[in-house]
Amino acid sequence: MKNLVIILIFTSFNLIGHHQGGKSFPNQDRFKIFGIWKVSSFKPGSISGISKEEAKKYLGRSVVLEKDSAVFLHDMCINKPQYRIRTANAEEYLYFNYKFPPIELGIDKKEIHILEIYCSDGQINLNEDDPFYELIIYKEKYLIDSWDGYFFFLERNS
């Protein structure tokens, strides 16, 4: 009986450590998060806040995701960001957040994986329900980010 209680306690801690609020921590073997990601292409969304010429200026720029920091084109988290991957229905996620159909981004699967980045560096509050940044995991070497009304495809550079 004592062994059963120990096993149940260990199993409970293991489940709590891997799942929190329906969000799961990333499996580094399944998808390599850390590295330099370069903007390789873009596509306008439903409503664009910048011109196509302005969007072109982002081509070749880098996003750096590391264990101790995350640096984006407009933001940064320099105090050990937390990375989590969750699964979402592609149509629901893209429609709710961007009013955009997944097929227009080349997404033909029902489910997509979202990389959530949480930051707590004194300026941005770490909130379980409000990630600092969300990126769509697209194929093995790409992430999709959205800002200024455009979808930017980030290709793994290293």
Q: What is the pLDDT of residue 130?
A: 73
Q: What is the pLDDT of residue 127?
A: 53
Return the biggest CA–CA distance within the chain: 69
Delimit the domains of the chain by residue range. 21-156
Q: What is the pLDDT of residue 121?
A: 57
User: What is the amino acid identity at position 146?
Assistant: S
DSSP string, 115-153: EEEE--SSSS--BTTB-SEEEEEETTTEEEEEETTEEEE
Rounded to whole angstroms, the Cα distance separating 89 from 41 reads 24
Rounded to whole angstroms, the Cα distance separating 149 from 158 reads 27
pLDDT in 10s for each residue of the chain, 158 residues: 444 333 333 333 333 233 333 344 444 445 789 999 999 999 999 988 999 999 999 999 999 999 999 998 778 888 888 899 999 999 999 999 999 999 999 999 999 999 999 887 554 445 556 788 899 999 888 999 998 999 999 999 97
State the Cα angle at 51 between 48 and 117, rounded to 5°.
Answer: 55
Q: What is the pLDDT of residue 101?
A: 96
Rounded to whole angstroms, the Cα distance separating 42 from 113 reads 19
- Count the helices and strands in the chain (H runs, E runs): 3, 11
Give the sheet arrangement for strand 142-147, strand by strand.
19-20, 23-24, 82-89, 111-118, 133-138, 142-147, 150-156, 35-44, 62-65, 70-71, 76-77
Q: What is the pLDDT of residue 28?
A: 45
- The three-state secondary structure class of 123 is coil
Rounded to whole angstroms, the Cα distance separating 79 from 81 reads 6
In this prediction the pTM is: 0.76
